[in-house]
Amino acid sequence: MTVQEMLEHAHDTATQREPSELASELQALLGQKMVAFALGDRHPKTIGRYARGERSPDDATVRRLVDLFTLVELLGNGMRRQAIRSWMLGSNPRLHGRAPIEVIHEGKRADAERAARAFLANR
């Protein structure tokens, strides 16, 4: 499977899930604080509310959940869960030493996606 096909599959998987599922899985992998940071939410407990279905995210937040989950799902092609977490939180030379979670927070999801695609292409 090509990296593009893996990306498309990851996106399809993300869009077929309920926002509560996306939030729950991302929270389990990255933690509430990191998911909230990536989404630009100042209140980490909101992520838990989304995960439990107590609160529904607005459309913009659903889009960010789908984008973040797509990236995590893409990285899941050949990486263990802990390695995905490390990749998301660690300094990345393809992002000029910045962490992917940080560039996602800044709204530069495409930069993080390019770094993930390059990483997977070189495996």
Structural domain that includes position 56: 3-121
DSSP letter for 90, please: S
96 C-beta neighbours (distance < 10 Å), count: 9
Question: pLDDT tens-digit profile of 25-47?
Answer: 999 999 999 999 999 998 999 99
The total number of structural domains in the chain stands at 1
DSSP 98: B
What pLDDT digit, counting tens, does each position of 34-90 carry? 999 999 998 999 999 999 999 999 999 999 999 999 999 999 987 898 899 999 999
**90 phi and psi angles, rounded to 5 deg:** -90, 160
